[in-house]
A and B are shown apart, each in its own frame.
Chain A
Amino acid sequence: MKLYLKIWRQLNATSKGEMVDYEIDGVTEHMSFLEMLDLLNESLIQLKERVIEFDHDCREGICGQCGVMINGRAHGPLKHTTTCQLHMRSFKDGDTIYIEPFRATAFPVVRDLKINRTSFDSIIVAGGYIGASTGQAPEANSIPISYETVEASFDAAACIGCGACVATCKNSSAALFVGAKITHLALLPQGKIEASKRVLTMVDQMDTEGFGACSNTEACEVECPQGISVLSIAKMNYEYNKALIMKK
């Protein structure tokens, strides 16, 4: 099939970007969206032009590195699907596709479609872990965890850190990302002792990084490739308020 692409090109974080038009022919329905971009880049090389830079790595929906806005939607038209797992059978011959980077103040553009998501790491650095030093952990079965608890914890732990939740949020809020980590760790007995400190430092860091506040529109859950529930945001708020009270 033949497609008309409008792709965001931008040299670096401080320069001005623009949408540039491209045409591509010979796209098949079996190709992934990123393979379609590979094909476009191959043709740019033959024209001796600089390729379009985009982030990607595992191409099986788990590393979280890929992700662009496709026709205004994070990761494209399908629900709960990363860009690398989106296939061209979702488009038809003659379509025009707008491709832009995930946009947020806390995610500056690196070049073209590549963005900097180090702010997510900084939030984890602030306290998104259990303080278990390596080498001398107690016997794993010494603390039983109920099936339901561990499954609920897993649902939140499955976050791949792609940033679609931020990109799709009108406030550029990282509440779903942070809520997921808070929920994952707070549900487990191993993580309970540090729960207050964790939620306070992580939420504080989230604000410092320039993410907006959550206003409960729930768009994040719709675009999350892992289908992480907005209830984790409620859990974060609950843990946060509890921690504030306990601190006083």
Chain B
Amino acid sequence: MIDSKIPDGPLADKWNTYKAKAKLVNPANRKKLTVIVVGTGLAGSSCAASLAEQGYNIQSFCFQDSPRRAHSVAAQGGVNAVKNYKNDGDSVFRMFYDTIKGGDFRSREANVYRLAECSASLIDQSVAQGVPFAREYGGYLNNRSFGGVQVSRTFYARGQTGQQLLLGAYQSLLRQVNTGKVTMHTRHEMLELVLVDGKAKGIIARNLETGAIERHAADAVVLATGGYGKVYYLSTLAMGCNSSALWRAHKKGAYMAGVSWIQFHPTCLPQHGANQSKLTLMSESLRNDGRIWVPKKVGDDRLPNSIPEEERDYYLERRYPAFGNLAPRDISSRAAKERIDSGHGAGPMKNAVYLDFSDAIAAQGKKTIEAKYSNLFAMYEKINGIDAYKEPMLISPAAHFTMGGLWVDYELMTTIPGLFALGEANFADHGANRLGANSLLQACVDGYFIAPYTIPNYLSGELNTTKVTTEHPAFAEAENSVREQLNRFLQSKGTLSTDYFHKTIGRLLYEKCGLSRSKQNLEEAIVAIKSLKASFEKDLLITGDDTLNSELEKAGRVADYIELAELMCYDALQREESCGAHFREEYQSNEGEAVRNDTDYCYVSAWEWKGIANPPELHKEPLVFENVELAVRSYK
């Protein structure tokens, strides 16, 4: 039985109760304790900086050449916070409710409430660090509205909110490097977790510059390694984003939860060719002014501007009049896929829908639209060579944010004692669908405000245990398994590159376990993945050696993706309902809306690894709703 360790008492008091009772470590003893933090995005940097400020020793790892490059940097739109500066009725409870509803009632009440509760502090924290959030002329903070909500609570720094928040966290991190409390290991990739007596006590990392395999010991390990949407190959994620740290921890006993809940972002630039490596996100904020439509006629080949008004289908406004173009991401993405699949797709590959600004330009003037979105229009023109002030943008849904990840309890600790997972790497908070502008928030809140209480609570129990060093046999064993795998890749004498396998698994998942799923497709996918896995074992070709070698790096990541993909299909197959990002074709209403099944599936699916030859074992964490009524999620 898995214990989520949610504190007793009323929802609004739970976090204060926890903080008041959490065990502390004497300041003099903190310097005796070391924490490994893998990842330097918002969750990793903020956690490492916060713990270092308290006096713990931090070993910080990232695979990029600088901690500032973590993919949090790419988030555009904004970050939610309950400040009620607009006096439009916002409150902690309302944000809690929006987030629970947005997540299709598949997230934990206590976690979500805490997210909303801590949100205001994040704005204070970031402003103190020098994050240049948008301001009103009077000098006070400005904000805007975002998909899935009816109040204005999204704070933003132009279209580069993630970048600015990350730079704030990065600077806090490097400030602690200056004090000597943080040791930075850039161009390092975690390849194995080391357990001693069942507790997380270190990692094996590969130095990506020299190829050296290194052992690092600590009293606790934090994984803040982001999401695994890149499993689809084409996604909005950075090329290096991967699932390896999570997956290696999973194979060491940490449960993975909600694995198949992967958000497809509705406003990405569509795929344009076979050699494409990624999809670029356009900020969701564009939906505040852009109207989304497709031609009414199937296979209409006319240029968008020559299609008259009455021959256009503004399908979001038609189907969801109350929220219109601001309907939540899962609903907007699915609606786009439905139109594209039924032959109304636009663009050269017929795989897109139009995002049209002509009405907004006519009503507000080009200058106003330029002031709001000029950087996005410039980016669009750079990539496509099209001026979106003159003709509509082509957009398409793309794999984006993973709601699934390592299962964690209220303390953000996995099922392995001493192993914590923060930010997108854990499954918590978002349920089956993440509302816009909540991802930066969760990553920051985990790192700045939650882990600094819960990790010391754990560490207080580690003070009097025997110190583990890298001489411990568990390190040798873990190192050997890493070396064996790397050697196996290098000695593989096949004919196919890692990218071939990555693209193949990505395409398969997109078709069978993407925006919509069915029993038949998922069962077929599991068979196909097994054969792809066998092919990977014998047909892989890696050139180069065991020193700096990006092909060798990719091989490990792709091997993990193939195994993860199989678990995603098991997870999607087992959940016989439609909820949030998970749309099972068998469970839909006559109007094509998702039909949730609260009687049988109101739980978190936490999966346990049972070895390569066995199917994973399902553990259920029942979701208890005491403060909201489970309702049909309607945006009509």
A127 CB contacts on chain B under 8 angstroms: 178
One of A46-54, A92-100, A212-220, A235-243 contacting the partner: A46-54
A residues 92-140 touching B (CB-CB < 8 Å)? 110-111, 114, 116-118, 120-121, 124-135, 137-140
One of B164-172, B302-310, B420-428 contacting the partner: B164-172
Whole-angstrom CA separation of A143 from B127 in the bound complex: 9
**A135 pairs with B452, CB closer than 8 A:** yes
Known A137-B128, A141-B141; contact A116-B65, beta-carbon cutoff 8 A: yes
Nearest B-chain residue to A54, judged by Cβ: B550
Nearest A-chain residue to B545, judged by Cβ: A50
**A231 beta carbon closer than 8 Å to chain B:** no
Q: Whole-angstrom distance from the CB of A180 to the nearest CB of chain B?
A: 11
Q: Whole-angstrom distance from the CB of B30 to the nearest CB of chain A?
A: 15
Q: Chain A 195-232, CB within 8 Å of chain B: the 1/0 string?
A: 00000000000000000000000000000000000000
**B160 pairs with A158, CB closer than 8 A:** yes
**B272 beta carbon closer than 8 Å to chain A:** yes
Number of A-B contacts (CB under 8 A): 215
A32, A45, A147: the one within 8 Å of B551 (CB): A45
Whole-angstrom CA separation of A184 from B336 in the bound complex: 41
Whole-angstrom CA separation of A57 from B315 in the bound complex: 35
**B543 pairs with A51, CB closer than 8 A:** yes
Q: Whole-angstrom distance from the CB of B602 to the nearest CB of chain A?
A: 35
B240 CB contacts on chain A under 8 angstroms: 57
Whole-angstrom CA separation of A116 from B68 in the bound complex: 14
Q: Whole-angstrom distance from the CB of B125 to the nearest CB of chain A?
A: 5
**B71 pairs with A154, CB closer than 8 A:** no
B121, B135, B497: the one within 8 Å of A137 (CB): B121
B89 CB contacts on chain A under 8 angstroms: none
State the interface size on chain B (CB cutoff 8 A): 78
**B541 pairs with A45, CB closer than 8 A:** yes
One of A1-9, A58-66, A166-174 contacting the partner: A58-66
B residues 262-308 touching A (CB-CB < 8 Å)? 272-273, 275-278, 280-281
Known A57-B69, A157-B167; contact A35-B276, beta-carbon cutoff 8 A: yes
**A150 pairs with B133, CB closer than 8 A:** yes
Q: Whole-angstrom distance from the CB of B187 to the nearest CB of chain A?
A: 8
B residues 1-53 touching A (CB-CB < 8 Å)? 46, 49-50, 53
**B273 pairs with A28, CB closer than 8 A:** yes
Q: Whole-angstrom distance from the CB of B55 to the nearest CB of chain A?
A: 12
B74 CB contacts on chain A under 8 angstroms: 58, 60, 62-63
Known A64-B68, A121-B66; contact A144-B138, beta-carbon cutoff 8 A: yes
Whole-angstrom CA separation of A184 from B167 in the bound complex: 11
Whole-angstrom CA separation of A62 from B65 in the bound complex: 14
A60 CB contacts on chain B under 8 angstroms: 74, 278, 280-281, 379
**B172 pairs with A129, CB closer than 8 A:** yes
**B239 pairs with A57, CB closer than 8 A:** yes
**B335 beta carbon closer than 8 Å to chain A:** no
B272 CB contacts on chain A under 8 angstroms: 30
Q: Whole-angstrom distance from the CB of A29 to the nearest CB of chain B?
A: 8
B66, B137, B158, B280: the one within 8 Å of A161 (CB): B66
**B130 pairs with A190, CB closer than 8 A:** yes
**B544 pairs with A51, CB closer than 8 A:** yes
**B65 pairs with A117, CB closer than 8 A:** yes
B171 CB contacts on chain A under 8 angstroms: 124, 128-130
Q: Of residues A32, A56, A130, which shows the largest number of chain B Cβ atoms within 10 Å of its Cβ?
A: A130
A133 CB contacts on chain B under 8 angstroms: 53
Whole-angstrom CA separation of A141 from B140 in the bound complex: 6
**B625 beta carbon closer than 8 Å to chain A:** no
A89, A111, A124, A144: the one within 8 Å of B548 (CB): A111
**B367 beta carbon closer than 8 Å to chain A:** no
Q: Chain A 7-26, CB within 8 Å of chain B: the 1/0 string?
A: 00000000000000000000
**B64 pairs with A65, CB closer than 8 A:** yes
Q: Whole-angstrom distance from the CB of B370 to the nearest CB of chain A?
A: 15
Known A45-B497, A147-B137; contact A126-B178, beta-carbon cutoff 8 A: yes
B125, B140, B275: the one within 8 Å of A144 (CB): B140
**B543 pairs with A49, CB closer than 8 A:** yes
Q: Of residues B137, B178, B273, which shows the largest number of chain A Cβ atoms within 10 Å of its Cβ?
A: B178
Nearest B-chain residue to A139, judged by Cβ: B124
Q: Chain A 57-81, CB within 8 Å of chain B: the 1/0 string?
A: 1111111110000000000001001
A157 CB contacts on chain B under 8 angstroms: 130, 132, 164, 167
Known A51-B551, A59-B277, A59-B278; contact A132-B239, beta-carbon cutoff 8 A: no
Q: Of residues B85, B124, B170, B499, which shows the largest number of chain A Cβ atoms within 10 Å of its Cβ?
A: B124
Whole-angstrom CA separation of A126 from B177 in the bound complex: 9
**B543 pairs with A45, CB closer than 8 A:** yes
Nearest B-chain residue to A201, judged by Cβ: B178
**B73 beta carbon closer than 8 Å to chain A:** yes
Whole-angstrom CA separation of A78 from B280 in the bound complex: 19
Whole-angstrom CA separation of A131 from B548 in the bound complex: 37
A53 CB contacts on chain B under 8 angstroms: 548, 550
Known A44-B543, A134-B49; contact A125-B174, beta-carbon cutoff 8 A: yes
Whole-angstrom CA separation of A190 from B133 in the bound complex: 13
Whole-angstrom CA separation of A128 from B73 in the bound complex: 18
Q: Whole-angstrom distance from the CB of B79 to the nearest CB of chain A?
A: 12
A59 CB contacts on chain B under 8 angstroms: 238-239, 277-278, 280
B residues 336-394 touching A (CB-CB < 8 Å)? 379, 382-383, 385
A85 CB contacts on chain B under 8 angstroms: 379, 382-383
Known A139-B124, A190-B128; contact A117-B50, beta-carbon cutoff 8 A: no
Q: Whole-angstrom distance from the CB of B240 to the nearest CB of chain A?
A: 5
Nearest B-chain residue to A154, judged by Cβ: B132
Q: Of residues A49, A62, A125, A153, which shows the largest number of chain B Cβ atoms within 10 Å of its Cβ?
A: A62
Whole-angstrom CA separation of A58 from B160 in the bound complex: 14
**A234 beta carbon closer than 8 Å to chain B:** no
Q: Of residues B134, B278, B281, which shows the largest number of chain A Cβ atoms within 10 Å of its Cβ?
A: B278
B73, B281, B541: the one within 8 Å of A48 (CB): B541
**A28 pairs with B275, CB closer than 8 A:** yes
A35, A58, A185: the one within 8 Å of B275 (CB): A35
**B172 pairs with A132, CB closer than 8 A:** yes
**B611 beta carbon closer than 8 Å to chain A:** no
B residues 85-132 touching A (CB-CB < 8 Å)? 85, 121, 123-130, 132
A78 CB contacts on chain B under 8 angstroms: 382
Whole-angstrom CA separation of A133 from B55 in the bound complex: 12
Whole-angstrom CA separation of A31 from B277 in the bound complex: 9
Whole-angstrom CA separation of A161 from B588 in the bound complex: 48
Nearest A-chain residue to B495, judged by Cβ: A46
Whole-angstrom CA separation of A84 from B543 in the bound complex: 24
Whole-angstrom CA separation of A35 from B549 in the bound complex: 18
**B175 beta carbon closer than 8 Å to chain A:** yes
Q: Of residues A57, A64, A134, which shows the largest number of chain B Cβ atoms within 10 Å of its Cβ?
A: A134
**B449 beta carbon closer than 8 Å to chain A:** yes
**A137 pairs with B382, CB closer than 8 A:** no
- 14 additional contacts (CB under 8 A) given A42-B499, A129-B171, A130-B130: A38-B499, A46-B495, A50-B544, A58-B74, A60-B278, A85-B383, A89-B385, A124-B171, A125-B174, A130-B128, A133-B53, A140-B123, A140-B128, A190-B127
Residues of A in contact with B (beta carbons under 8 Å apart): 28, 30-32, 34-35, 38-39, 42, 44-46, 48-51, 53, 55-65, 78, 81, 85, 87, 89, 110-111, 114, 116-118, 120-121, 124-135, 137-141, 143-147, 150-151, 153-154, 157-158, 160-161, 184-185, 188, 190-191
Residues of B in contact with A (beta carbons under 8 Å apart): 46, 49-50, 53, 64-69, 71, 73-74, 83, 85, 121, 123-130, 132-141, 157-158, 160, 163-164, 167, 170-172, 174-175, 177-178, 184, 186, 209, 238-240, 272-273, 275-278, 280-281, 379, 382-383, 385, 448-449, 452, 495, 497, 499, 541, 543-544, 548-551
Task: Please name 7 pairs of A and B residues whose Cβ atoms are closer than 8 Å in the assembled complex, sorted by A.
Answer: A38-B499, A39-B275, A51-B550, A58-B73, A59-B238, A60-B278, A125-B178
Nearest 4 CB-CB pairings of A with B: A144-B139, A129-B171, A137-B128, A132-B128
